[in-house]
A and B are shown apart, each in its own frame.
Chain A
Amino acid sequence: MNKLQFHYFHLMPWPYLPADYDQKYDSAWVTLPNSIYDPIKGHALYNRYLDEIERADKLGWDSVIVNEHHQNAYGTMPSPNIMAAVLTQRIKRAKIGIVGNALPLHDDPLRVAEEIAMLDVISGGRIISGFVRGTGMEYFSYSVNPTISRERMDEAHDLIIQAWTRPGPFAFEGEHYNYRYVNIWPRPIQQPHPPIWLPGTASTETIDFAAGHKYPYMTVFMPMDQRKRAYDMYRRLAEEKYGYEAQPEQLAFCVPCVVAESDDIAMKEGEKYVMWLFNKALKVRPEFFVPPGYMSVRSLRGMLESGTYGRKASFKELVDTGVVIAGSVDTVVEKLAYLTDELHAGMLVTGGHVGEIPDYLVLKNQTMMAEEVMPHFREKPVRAEPKPVEIQPV
């Protein structure tokens, strides 16, 4: 079995949606009234989530990951860098991923370069820096023009990489970002810079960008056949367009994993809690999901013609199509092995917390993953042959 890295991803959702949520609200994003958020409960929740992440570190997960989302119940981390700063003080072994900062949403990406550099220095070089465009919904929430999203993404990326790697001061002259003095203090520890990840939903443009820069590309919540197509495209672009062979560490997959004592129990627990993610937290008006100009016409045509957008799926269908992995240890190992051995992917990104899942189930999930699933994908330690102890003469 090929090797697999295990990354513990937390969305920090707001699970306490009102009983009439399904009838009364058409979106968990942009317009869901923030009176639903209770800061007192939020205080307890943030700290509970941080405890969960700390356990993942102690259980041996390779990294812990946070991300950026705005004005929604799906994920309550508008500033992932603040959360990462907290984690530098709690997490002393694992890497700390921010996957990612939504670059085009910010008018000043130099600030992102500075903050990631700070975090890298504070954490002793343990930062993974994801870059994302942000969801379509966030272009409404932040009033950022979606028609220039990709241009701002590309340009902010170039600025940040240069800020980390070029001796300052220098001028950055872009179409959307223009700085006379780029000269960040501090600079990151990791050289040439912290690793960059790019999550995506299989748009050709993002896969090409990731392959071109040799950045890990992370497929998010998508059926296995779509993941396969995305990885095939990445590998083909790497080989034919950019002249190298893509490595497993460049192909990541973000997938909810439910592991339990048996397939039956996993299906029941998954259905009860993971469906919250798809039915409630990802409930979005289509107009928010794809604002004008956010996607290329080609990518949008692909999405519309596939007929998958907006289709309601049962938990069983999600499991059958590979959007979710659920089962006993053997089942989960077998499914992950398909990803590592058939799709050549080498990084699993998953978390245990969705909706109102009780803490004991989060603990069970993260522990079973770490203790019973993970070892199948680790290099076996080389055992030394027993031999008599030689006693050296004094």
Chain B
Amino acid sequence: MSDVVTPIEKNERTVNVQGIATHIFEAGSPVAPPLLYLHGTNLGNLWLDYHRALAQYFHLFAPDIPGFGLTERPDWMRDMSDYILFFRDLLNELGLDKVMLVGHSIGGWMAAEIAVWYPERVKKLVLSNAAGIRVKGSSIADIFAMNAQELIAACFDNPMAAMPLMPAEFNVDFLLVQYKERTTLASLAWNPSYDPKLERRLASIKCPTLVIWGANDRVIPPVYGDTFHRQIANSRLVKLEGTGHMPMFEKHEEWARSICEFLEQGKD
């Protein structure tokens, strides 16, 4: 597999799902296996190297999760079950019967839930630095209590890797967008910050699963990756050194290569 990422044309559009105008990037060969990528908090409406890398080998669909990026969250959309049903309907709307499902952080939580509830729609699963469970004694960081600098310090080993997330101008509009996205996260994960039933249910996931984690993750500690790996029988665990919660920013080539190699194994 080549490390060289060639430019990939992306298609940007809006899909109506449950009345929600859902912003989505689509890229890659239409005959390649479809891959649904679910981003983490504050990471909507981005098109970066790691998206391009995935789109080299897969037909990538990268929606903005409602409440993030350019997709608004209706007021009724408040808990994980609303999001699981939303993604079921998004897959229907996109005409995708079965996908490679990759989720990061809060998007990883969503991916794990989709794999639990709709196993027939998930061919392979990738959980990167995923939320959704609790490991007693190793709390997930309280990012709601962090300011922007603290958040970057917690998420990144190399703060320079956060440059794509920096706004052109720190103004009131930017702060309000951040506030709205944090509000979406709070509605899902203020307390509890996990699904108390998910860990037990992970045992029902039978599809091949890759659990991939930044070894220095200070937001969702690597022991969470260990736990996902332990609970999902058909899973393998990869820890990437020299990166934390944002391996797709800091080690995007290694991160994408690990994922693509895993997803390509045994593909038809």
Give residues in A with beta carbon < 8 Å to B.
30, 139-140, 143-148, 285-288, 290-293, 297, 300-301, 304-305
Q: Are A291 and B144 in contact (CB under 8 A)?
A: yes
Q: Are A305 and B187 in contact (CB under 8 A)?
A: no
Contacts of B172 in A (CB 8 A): 301, 304-305
Give residues in B with beta carbon < 8 Å to A.
78, 142, 144-147, 172, 175-176, 179-180, 182-183, 185-187, 190-191
Contacts of A145 in B (CB 8 A): 186-187, 190-191
Asked, given contacts A143-B191, A300-B179, whether A292 binds B145 with beta carbons under 8 Å apart, the answer is: no
Asked, given contacts A300-B176, A301-B176, whether A293 binds B146 with beta carbons under 8 Å apart, the answer is: no
Contacts of B183 in A (CB 8 A): 147, 292-293
Q: Are B145 and A293 in contact (CB under 8 A)?
A: no
Contacts of B185 in A (CB 8 A): 292
Asked, given contacts A292-B179, A297-B179, whether A287 binds B146 with beta carbons under 8 Å apart, the answer is: yes
CA distance A335 to B176 in the complex (A): 37
A-B contact pairs, 14 of them (CB 8 A): A140-B142, A140-B144, A147-B78, A147-B186, A285-B145, A286-B147, A287-B145, A288-B145, A292-B185, A297-B179, A304-B172, A304-B175, A304-B176, A305-B172
**Which of A147, A287, A288 contacts B190, CB < 8 Å?**
A147
Contacts of A148 in B (CB 8 A): 187
Chain A nearest Cβ from B121, distance in angstroms: 29
CA distance A292 to B151 in the complex (A): 15
CA distance A139 to B187 in the complex (A): 13
Chain A nearest Cβ from B26, distance in angstroms: 30
Q: Are A291 and B176 in contact (CB under 8 A)?
A: no
Contacts of B145 in A (CB 8 A): 30, 140, 285, 287-288
The 5 closest A-B pairs by CB, nearest first: A292-B182, A293-B183, A292-B186, A292-B183, A143-B191
Q: Are A146 and B147 in contact (CB under 8 A)?
A: no
CA distance A147 to B180 in the complex (A): 10
CA distance A285 to B149 in the complex (A): 13
Asked, given contacts A292-B182, A301-B176, whether A146 binds B146 with beta carbons under 8 Å apart, the answer is: no
Q: Are A146 and B179 in contact (CB under 8 A)?
A: no
CA distance A305 to B144 in the complex (A): 22
Q: Look across to chain A and name the residue whose beta carbon is closest to the beta carbon of B175.
A: A304
CA distance A300 to B174 in the complex (A): 12
Q: Look across to chain B and name the residue whose beta carbon is closest to the beta carbon of A287.
A: B145
